[in-house]
Each structure stands twice: as structure tokens, then as C-alpha cells.
Amino acid sequence: MLLQFDKDGIYCEQAGIYIDPWKPVDRAVITHAHSDHARWGSKSYLAHHDSKNILKYRLGEDINLETLAYNEAIIINGVKISLHPAGHIVGSAQVRLEYQGEVWVASGDYKVMPDGITTPFEPVPCHHFITESTFGLPIYNFPNADTLNTDLKNWCLKNQIAGKSSVVIGYSLGKAQRILNSINELNMPVILHGAIYNTNQALGLNNERYIRYAARIKKTLNEPVIVVAPPSAIGSPWLRQFEPYELGVCSGWMQLRGARRRRNADMGFVMSDHADWNGLNEAVLATGAENIYVTHGYKSIYAKWLTDHYGLNAVAVDTLFEGETLEQQDIETTREEEASA
Amino acid sequence: MKAFTDLYYELDATTKTTPKVEALTNYFLHTKPEDSIWAIALLVGNRPKRPIKTSDLKLWSAALANVSEWLFDDSYSVVGDLAETITLLINSKSENVSEVSLNELMREFEGFSKLNDDEKKEVVLEYWKKLSPRELYIFNKLITGAFRVGVSKLLVFKALAKAYDIDEKVIAHRFIGNWKPTNTLLTDLLKEDEFSDSTSRPYPFCLAYALDFDLQDLGKVNDWQIERKYDGIRGQIIVRNKQLFVWSRGEELLTDKFPEFEELIEFLPAGTVIDGEILPIVEGDIKSFNQMQKRTTRKALTKKILQDIPLKMVCYDLLEKDGKDLRDLPLEERRRLLEEIVTNSKAFNSSLILAPLLSCDAWENLNALRNEAKSVGCEGLMLKRKDSNYETGRKRGKWWKWKVDPYSIDAVLIYAQSGHGRRANLFTDYTFAVWDGDVLVPFTKAYSGLTDKEIFEVDAWVKKNTIEKFGPVRSVTPHWVFEIAFEGINESPRHKSGIALRFPRISRWRKDKPLSEANTKQDLLNLLHANT
């Protein structure tokens, strides 16, 4: 086996590299900069060009980081390694490894539907495909980016007319930038949580349009505003100054009524950076792979589905970090926020 | 159906009563009476039976969504709600607004009993394919017989009263009892001047809140009528037109279950309605609720059981005399009339007894009376203002219940299971154990009592400390001690522990208590023996 799942991560012995290791290793290939994939302490890192600044911001300026463009390959001890768009967040990549005619692809996190700002997902033909399964149940069917943009804008406008501010919740890396992209054109002041402001800066985005959060900032504005903040802000005193406001939460989990209610969301936007049910199936089939390794999410259910329905040789694989799960979204602070706070 | 769907989402979007009443009033003002009557039935929980087997719905929707049955089941266990699962799986892209009215749809469901499975399937699939996601969800809620939304009857009646400009109390009265949307016309129900044709109709029960402040704040003790609070079946006995009706508080007609009251047709004057508590009483002693359940859950009432567990009505209020509604008279006056009717009846001390009034000269002495109540099989006291009218439903101010403190026991959390609906995917249903030597033996489940914040905390803890999964149930590392409060304890051969608790709930999370200090099985047995 070219790739193995061991106690430190996904390991390629031939090349001496780990993909998204959860412990410090000599050589790490990073699919994307979310903190359950990009861990601190490895001696060297390989990632996509667009992940450079954000990785340095999160893991430290002095990390030993080499970057590649999509489809650009390097060869380590006979293993050809290249990165391919995963469509998850900026700089996210699938890792393709080829050795003696056998091709493996580790998807990291991915989404198939274009979001308008991330380089869209490209299927990569292979023999062995490692897929995530965060939303690997047929109940998850996400709306497209245009629908979401329209819904989000209309909701903010409706709140504005009612004299209320709109608080929009999404992870600071990925989701927040999509939210901003939707609402930029609205004629309302936009206030950013510090974590999002800093993440924007690290991504090299222009923050001129936005106001960084400060105590009593709302008083100086005297009109309904849009606030964009990570999930940890829900229910915190941080939001009090924006009363009266409506709370909108952007997450794939918002597909479920129970999740919406537990977050006390006035409105749930089913916006996700992961593939939905059809997206997963489409992606898996497009690789043409016979052997599928399912990680992160409803892995045993999804592996069983792939075996039963498509006759693929699919197995569930344990990983240390389970990524986002429905259960976990109830636990208030997420690692992602801790890392970017 | 469109209007009803909109109403549902409006009601669901807020927890405040004013906008809820507004939405309802608006609905009633703009909806045809034949649709409104269904909406009322659905909102007050008078909903028809599920017209179709859930296993069929499951099968058809799984096939439509191209998923296997096991995958349907796995999806359902994540969503926690059948109607929502089906809706999500079907994943409708339709933006249609349905043309079917609520009345037409519900009548179509009623007609399902005459269709064979294929015909039913055809109808259901047609709806599934054409409805938009919002309407699809409501459709599935209706067809799974699980429609529910957060409004009380009182709010529905308030809105109806506004929309039709009729007194709220009158509305509440007209909608009590066993009316059915299939054979009731809203217009008839609302235009009735007299209730002569509705012989069986009970009055809405007046309910009390638990006393949650100092007795002293109730004012003068002399202004209050003090009764014991009984632990039986709250009921209304109605004698009108030579007929007898016995209603429970849950608006169930229980006449047939209580043959001992048949004599009242002869022994009470026509046009009499008495409010009281139905209890098993043998030689003046009130028997346990357990005995009562033995009696009420029995299908066939044998001579033996009627003899062993005879029931009586402990009367405490008179709502109608000579066919006249007395609810606006002061309690003191109603009580006087009640005593007159009951003591003059041949049923006095046979099937009817009078609830004794307790006398108390100062609030300080009331606690002793309350504690005494327990020793005579009661659960505390009722305090009713002597000048109070008979209210509709639960109102604060005039009637209070003051229950004896519950029993309590410290127990260890050992299993957790996720809830349904609002509590789906959250571990909210717990099983608790006590020590038996060095083994923990489960003895009760408890659902309610924790705050939302505590539920999240327990939930997160359960997820991290699961030992084993058995289907939806998880066993967890014994670690946390909770105080469980309950109203009674009885022997029960059906339970592993041999005991059954009445109304168990979590009263406190004892984070301060180490595992070893939880109570023992012996402690429970001691309570049981002290109790019997």
C-alpha cells in the first residue's frame, strides 16, 4: 500500500511524507489551513501557494514551508506528488501520489459545488481515493451559491427595514469570506469579529470595506449593521450592543431543524464548505477508483453505501480528528476558533 | 394548505404570545370555516388518527429518494423526526403553491381507509412529487399524525374569540369534549345560543399553579378556602336529561369505566355538574394511585375488581345547578350549594363524598396541615380564594396548589439516549442507578429537570465518555451524581429493580458529590417500606 493510516496520520513510507499529520513529523503535506488538518510542530510543510500566508499566520512565521501551484508536481524518492483543487476553502488541495503506475488521491475536505471565490473542485482519476464524509447522508442536499447569496442578502435587507441589525455566523476561514462576498454590495456598515478581520488580513484581502469590532462601536453608527462573527460569538455578551438583531447561522448542519433550534438561530443558511450527499457520490464516481477509504464524518454509513450501492471496495478509516460533526457543533468552542482567536 | 403552512411557520418562528395570537387571528379571519375547523382540531391536539402505516411511508420515500432501507433508518436516527427525514430525503425542488385546501386534504386522508395500498401510495407519491419543501414538511407532519406546534389551547381560543367576536370563555366551553372536525361545522359551533343539544359537554377545568412565593403574601388566611390536594383522577360528573357523563381532565369520556356513578342519574337533580377527584376509597381510606391504575387500565371490569377497588368522587366544586352555569358565582357560594346538593343526595357517602375543608387560623400553622395531608394519601393542599370565580384553564392568583416536598434520592448516571423533536441528536434521556453493594443497579429513567445549558454540558460529556453503544442507547462511565425527585414509590415486579417511581425528574446536578456517596438500593427500599 502506497499510503497507510497510522497513529500519526496518513503516511507514505516510500516518500517519507505524512498528509495532514496530527502529530509533529519530519515532512507534512497539508491539504488546507483548517486547524484539524494543519497541525503545529512539523519540521517541514508542503502546501498550495494560496495557503502560504494563512499557514504562517496560524502555525508561525518561521515554519519551513514549500508551496506548489495546482497540477505542479514534485518527485520524492520516485513518488510523484501533486496538488489539485478541492474547492473547500482558499488554497485547499487534494493530494495526488503516483508510484509505479499506482495512483492515490487524498481529498482532504472538499466540495463539488462552486462557491464563487474558491478555485472549483476538479476530479482526479485514481485507483485509491480517500474521501471525507462530513455530510455523508442522503438528508444533506445543499442549495447552490446563487440561491444562498440571494437568501442572505434579502434577509439582511428585511432586517434593515425592520430596524434590526443582522448577525451572520460562520467560521472565520472559508465561510466568513463567502458571507462577505455575498453582502459586500449592500449599503450597510459591516462589522467583523477580530478573528475574521485578522484572517482576512492573512489572506491578503482588502479590509477597507469593513469595521473591526470594538466595544460600543454600534453607538457611533446609529443604523442597522451587518455583523459577521464565528460560532463562539453566539450567546456571548459580545453581541449585546447590537440589539435588536436577528441571528443567522451559516452551516451545513442548518439543514436540520433540531440543529437550527439548538443554536437559537432566527434563520439558518445551509451554507457549507463540504460536499453534500450528491456531491460526495459524484466525486467518488468521477475518480473511477475501485478502493475508497472513508474518513471524517458518517464514515461507516457512507462506506457501507458505497459498497452496497456501487459495488466499490469501501472501508471506514479512523482518524484522530473527526472534523466537523453534528454532535460537535454543539460543543461551544471549536478548535478552529481557538486557533484563530 | 398554503395558508395553514404559513400559519405553522409564523407560529414556529416566535416564542412570544402576542404575535402568535395575531397570526392565529389573521388566519381565522381569512380562512374558510371548513378549513379553520381542521386547523383548530390540529392545533388543540384533537387530531385524527394517522391515516397510513409509517412503515409504508418509510418504504415509499426511501424508494423515491433512491436509498436503501438501512440508510433511511440511519438518516432517521440522525434527524430524529420522521416527517422531517422524509422531507429531506425527497429533497423537493418544487416552488409550486398547492391548490388543495386543508379541509380537502384532511378529508382525503379520512378516505384512505377505503383505499388499498397501491391507491394510497399513488396519492401520497403525487403529493410528494409536487409539493414545495415547506408544504411537504407540513404534509408529512399531517400524514404521520405527528403535527404539533407551540400554541396552547388558550391562545387558539383567544384568537378565535377575537376573529369571531365571541367571549373567550364561551369559545373554550364550546370546544371542549369529543367534537370531531369531520362532523362539526364551525359556524354551528359558534352560532349556538344555548347548549341544550350538547348534553354531554363539560366545562373547561379550572387549574391551579404551584405556589412559588411566601404564604404571607396571600393576604389574610381567612380569605382562603383550604382543601387537601388529591392524587386521583380529576373529573367532572354531569347529569343532564336523565343521562350521566364522567369526564377526565384530559377531556376523555370515562363514564363506562366507573359504573359506581350510574346511581347518580337517579340521585342528582337534572342539570348538575360537579367538579372533583375520583379516588379508590375503602372504608374511608384513600388507596394508592397504583390501585387506581389497576382499575382504570383494566379492559373488562370484573365483579371482583369493582369490589376490591371501589371508586368514589370527592366533590369540591359545583359548576352547574338546575342547568344554570354557576362559574361566575364566588367559590364560597358555590361550595354552599355543593354541600346542599351532595348532602341531600342519596348518593352521599356512597359514590359521592364531600372534600373536607380544613381550618387554619394563621399561615404559620398551615405547614403542619400540609404534612398531615401525606399521611392520609394526599399530595398537599389546595388554596382557593373564597371569592374566586371558576376560571377557564390555568390562571395565576385565585387558586394555588401547595404540594408536600417530593422524595429525593442521589443517583448515578449510567445510560443516556438521545431525545426526539427539539431534543433530537442531544443526549437528554437518562437512566440512573443506585449502589447495591459495589454494583450500580438501574432503577429509574428521568428526562426533565436540567436547564438547556446543563443538557448541552451532559450531552458533550456523554459523547466523550461513552463505553458502549446499544442501538440508540449509550452506556457511560459512572461519574456524575444527580438528585432525583419523585412523588411516590411503589413495588413493581415489572422493573428490574423491583420498584417504580412516580413522576421522577432531575432536581439537581450534584457536581459536589463523589460517586461513592450516591444512595443505595437499601435507601430506596426503606422509603418504600415507610410508604406502605
Domain final position from A217, A249, A269: A269
- A14 with A77, same domain: the answer is yes
- A20 with A97, same domain: the answer is yes
Mean pLDDT by 10 residues, chain B (532 residues): 94 87 95 94 86 93 94 90 95 89 94 92 95 95 91 91 87 79 79 62 90 88 95 93 89 85 94 95 83 79 86 96 94 97 93 94 90 84 96 89 88 88 77 92 87 87 84 87 89 82 90 89 86 58
Specify whether the CB–CB gap between B274 and B321 falls below 8 A. no
Amino acid at residue number B286: I
Contacts 24+ apart (CB under 8 A), A247-251: A247/A167, A247/A169, A248/A152, A248/A155, A248/A166, A248/A167, A248/A168, A248/A169, A249/A169, A249/A170, A250/A152, A250/A168, A250/A169, A250/A170, A250/A175, A250/A178, A250/A179, A251/A169, A251/A170, A251/A175, A251/A329
- A132 with A158, same domain: the answer is no
- Residue A334 has what pLDDT? 39
Show residues of chain A in contact with B424, CB under 8 Å.
256, 258
CA distance from start to end of chain A: 39
ipTM of the shown complex = 0.90
Query: How many CA atoms does the CB half-sphere of B138 hold within 13 Å?
Result: 25
For residue B165, give the nearest of B189, B183, B190 by alpha carbon: B190
Nearest by CB: B67 against A138, A298, A331: A138
Task: Find residue A192's DSSP bridge partners.
Answer: A212, A228
- A156 with A239, same domain: the answer is yes
Domain final position from A269, A286, A320: A269
* Model confidence at A337: pLDDT above 70: no
- A79 with A186, same domain: the answer is no
Look over chain A and give the mean of its residue pLDDT values, rounded to a whole number. Answer: 90
Output the domain CATH number for residue A233: 3.40.50.12650
Specify whether the CB–CB gap between B316 and B355 falls below 8 A. yes
- A152 with A221, same domain: the answer is yes
- A229 with A335, same domain: the answer is no
Show residues of chain A in contact with B422, CB under 8 Å.
258, 261
For residue A196, give the nearest of A229, A233, A241 by alpha carbon: A229
A286-328: pLDDT as tens digits? 999 999 999 988 999 999 999 999 999 999 987 766 556 665 5
Cβ neighbours around A262 below 10 Å, total = 21
Task: Find residue B313's DSSP bridge partners.
Answer: B278, B352
- A95 with A191, same domain: the answer is no
In degrees and rounded to multiples of 5, residue A319 shows phi and psi of -130, 160
A202 vs A303: CA distance, rounded Å? 37
Q: Compute the nearest-CA separation of A258 from chain B (Å).
A: 5
Helices (H), A174-235: 175-183, 194-202
Give the residue from chain B lying closest to A298, CA to CA.
B74
Chain A interface mutation, best of B64, B72, B79, highest count of A Cβ atoms under 10 Å: B79
Average pLDDT of the segment spanning A171-181:
94
Domain final position from A214, A245, A269: A269
Higher pLDDT, A285 or B469: A285
Q: Compute the nearest-CA separation of B516 from chain A (Å).
A: 29
- A163 with A21, same domain: the answer is no
Q: Compute the nearest-CA separation of B531 from chain A (Å).
A: 41
A129 vs B381: CA distance, rounded Å? 70
Cβ neighbours around B199 below 10 Å, total = 13
- A30 with A130, same domain: the answer is yes
Q: Compute the nearest-CA separation of B421 from chain A (Å).
A: 7
Output the domain CATH number for residue A336: 3.60.15.10
The DSSP string of B459-484 is HHHHHHSEEEEETTEEEE-S--EEEE
- A123 with A163, same domain: the answer is no
Question: Which residue reads 487524498 in cell numbers?
Answer: A106
- Residue A323 has what pLDDT? 58
Residues in chain B whose beta carbon is closer than 8 A to a beta carbon of chain A? 13, 65, 67-68, 70-71, 74-75, 78-81, 84-85, 88-89, 91, 421-426, 456, 459-460, 463
Q: Residue A291: which domain range?
A: 4-140+273-340
Show residues of chain A in contact with B88, CB under 8 Å.
138-141, 255-256
What is the crossing angle of helices B133-143 and B102-110, to 10°?
A: 40
A76 vs A13: CA distance, rounded Å? 11
- A213 with A136, same domain: the answer is no
| Interface contact flag, A137 B460, Cβ < 8 Å | no
Nearest by CB: B426 against A137, A255, A262: A262
The total domain count for chain A is 2
- Residue B393 has what pLDDT? 83
- Residue A54 has what pLDDT? 92
Q: All domains of chain B, ordered by start, with CATH? A: 2-143 (1.10.3260.10), 206-403 (3.30.470.30), 407-531 (2.40.50.140)
Q: Compute the nearest-CA separation of A164 from chain B (Å).
A: 16
Nearest by CB: B89 against A139, A308, A309: A139
B474 vs B336: CA distance, rounded Å? 58
* Model confidence at A69: pLDDT above 70: yes
A317 vs A106: CA distance, rounded Å? 13
A279 vs A277: CA distance, rounded Å? 5
Cβ neighbours around A302 below 10 Å, total = 29
Specify whether the CB–CB gap between A195 and A333 falls below 8 A. no
